[in-house]
């Protein structure tokens, strides 16, 4: 009984070992995964090197002169002022054009009245305007 028990335990252990060994991934899949991992590590190293270069180049950018910043602010303020003036002049121009059209209409009306008056005055005697 003892011998059969040992044989049974040996059989169970060897079967378990066989199944555990057979359940793993194949060698090709393992090598493919390792090669992809190595490629990814190489890309990561290149990216880190590029990041370090960029950080160094950012630190090497010269600082903007405060006088230039002041001039820039002044120029931006001047641009805003000029923009406001353009808006003001555009509105004023629109109003003046409207007034011109009103004046033209008034002149046209007065010219018509003058023509009518001249037509009516043709019938008046000429000595009417002489002083006595």
How many beta carbons lie within 10 A of that of residue 80, not counting itself?
A: 10
Per-residue confidence in pLDDT tens, the chain, 132 aa? 667 777 777 778 777 666 656 566 677 887 888 899 999 999 999 999 999 988 888 877 777 777 888 899 999 999 999 999 999 999 999 999 999 999 999 999 999 998 988 888 777 666 656 665
**Distance of alpha carbon 60 from alpha carbon 54, whole angstroms:** 10
Measured CA distances, 118 to 11, 84, 107, 115, 127 (Å): 139, 50, 16, 5, 16
Residue 94: its pLDDT value, please? 94
Q: Tell me the whole-structure pTM to 2 decimals.
A: 0.39
Residue 104: its pLDDT value, please? 95
**Distance of alpha carbon 55 from alpha carbon 17, whole angstroms:** 54
Measured CA distances, 122 to 108, 115, 126 (Å): 21, 11, 9
Residue 49: its pLDDT value, please? 93
């Amino acid at each position: 009984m003892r011998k059969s028990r040992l044989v049974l335990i040996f059989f169970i252990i060897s079967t378990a070992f066989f199944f555990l060994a057979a359940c793993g991934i194949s060698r090709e899949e393992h090598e493919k995964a390792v090669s992809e991992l190595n490629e990814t590590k190489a890309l990561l190293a290149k990216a880190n090197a590029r990041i370090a270069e960029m950080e160094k180049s950012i630190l090497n950018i010269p600082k903007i002169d405060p006088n230039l910043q002041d001039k820039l602010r002044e120029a931006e303020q001047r641009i805003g002022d000029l923009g406001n003036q353009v808006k003001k002049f555009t509105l004023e121009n629109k109003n003046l054009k409207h007034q011109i059209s009103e004046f033209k209409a008034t002149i046209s009306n007065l010219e018509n009245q003058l023509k009518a008056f001249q037509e009516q005055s043709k019938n008046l005697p000429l000595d009417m305007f002489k002083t006595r």
